[in-house]
Amino acid sequence: MKTVRQVIASRTGPVHSITSNTTIYDALVVMADQHIGALLVIDDHKLNGILSERDYVRSVVVSDKSSKTTPVSDIMTTAEHLITVSPKNTVEECLNLVSTKRIRHLPVVEAGKVIGILSIGDLVKETIEYQQSLIKQLESYIQG
């Protein structure tokens, strides 16, 4: 199974991020424009958290906070609660993490620097491709 490094190496786009003082509304606009479900929160090159659509629903919609004036720092998942992976982790390890921790996004950190982010969709896609490859190999082996 592939490593995280192999998965993110095939990507060409940037890692989208915001700062902790960005308003929730502005963060949501970025997510909508980029068709993504989460943004990394980075201040002074340091990963301080993540803001997801789930954070928004649980913290803003339910509590009636103002999206246009509230900073993401008020609702984001903070660094001390953030689960990250390294480029050396496997897709299988990451899939186990998102499943057991009930999360949808994994920041990829190497030597203290963010180098990517994986979504549960990315992990499922890689797993399906891996399984299809195994099936083809087994069919080829069986057919001789």
pLDDT tens sequence across 16-64: 999 999 999 999 999 999 999 999 999 999 999 999 999 998 888 778 7
Q: Which residues contact 40 (CB under 8 A, 6 or more apart)?
A: 15, 16, 17, 18, 47, 49, 50, 107, 114, 117
Mean pLDDT, to the nearest integer, of 84-110?
Answer: 97
Q: Measured in Å, how far apart are the chain's first and last C-alpha atoms?
A: 24
Domain of residue 46, residue span: 4-143
How would residue 10 be classed by pLDDT, with cut points 50, 70 and 90? confident
- The count of structural domains within the chain is 1
pLDDT for res 64 = 77
Locus of tokens 């720092």: 73
Mean pLDDT, to the nearest integer, of 5-12?
Answer: 91
Q: In which element (H, E) is residue 91 found?
A: helix 91-101
Domain of residue 59, CATH code: 3.10.580.10
Q: What is the pTM of this model?
A: 0.88
How would residue 78 be classed by pLDDT, with cut points 50, 70 and 90? very high
How would residue 95 be classed by pLDDT, with cut points 50, 70 and 90? very high
HSE, side-chain direction, 13 A CA sphere, residue 22: 22
How would residue 65 be classed by pLDDT, with cut points 50, 70 and 90? confident
